[in-house]
Amino acid sequence: EQYCNKIWTNNDVYTDGRPTQGGFATAMVVDQRFVVKVPDGMAPEQAAGLLCAGVTAYSPLNHFGLNKSGLRGGILGLGGIGHMGVKLAKALGHHVPVISSSNKKREEALEHLGADDYLVSSDEARMKQAVDSLDYIIDT
């Protein structure tokens, strides 16, 4: 659980004194709230990106109450997590500018992912225009 106070690893001891029983296994028992069923027909390599970058991008949106429409949210950095951040924020009905260090991914952000704007962080004039225009920024 990403918001717990202590993460137990292999060769550790739970707060009640029981050993964690290692960390190298072919199977494990977990609480159902930490399990996601991968839909039939979806390859593990397709699910992996959603379960990693997707959860990483969605978690702060949900945790901080940003999973409602009408917000303006910047995605800083366009890579695996940034891609999912744009897709998720757009699906939630947000206005989404991507903030990047170069123009290299402008076309991908605007035309393929559906970002609403693209800001290059070294463009002082554009960055000044954007001051106080966002409800949140996900820095990937």
Q: Could you read off the pLDDT of 77-101 as tens digits, one per residue?
A: 998 899 999 999 999 999 999 999 9
**Domain 50-139 indexed as CATH 3.40.50.720:** yes
Closest to 88 measured CA to CA, from 107, 69, 110, 64: 69
The DSSP secondary-structure symbol of 69 reads T
- The DSSP element (H or E) to which 75 belongs, if any, is strand 73-76
**Calpha distance 135→93 (Å, rounded):** 13
Q: What are the tens digits of pLDDT across the range 33-92?
A: 878 888 999 998 888 888 888 889 999 999 999 999 999 999 999 988 999 999 999 999
The ranges assigned to domains in the chain are: 1-35, 50-139
- The DSSP element (H or E) to which 117 belongs, if any, is strand 117-120
Closest to 82 measured CA to CA, from 107, 57, 111: 57
How far is C-alpha 57 from the chain's CA centre? 1
Q: pTM for the whole thing?
A: 0.75
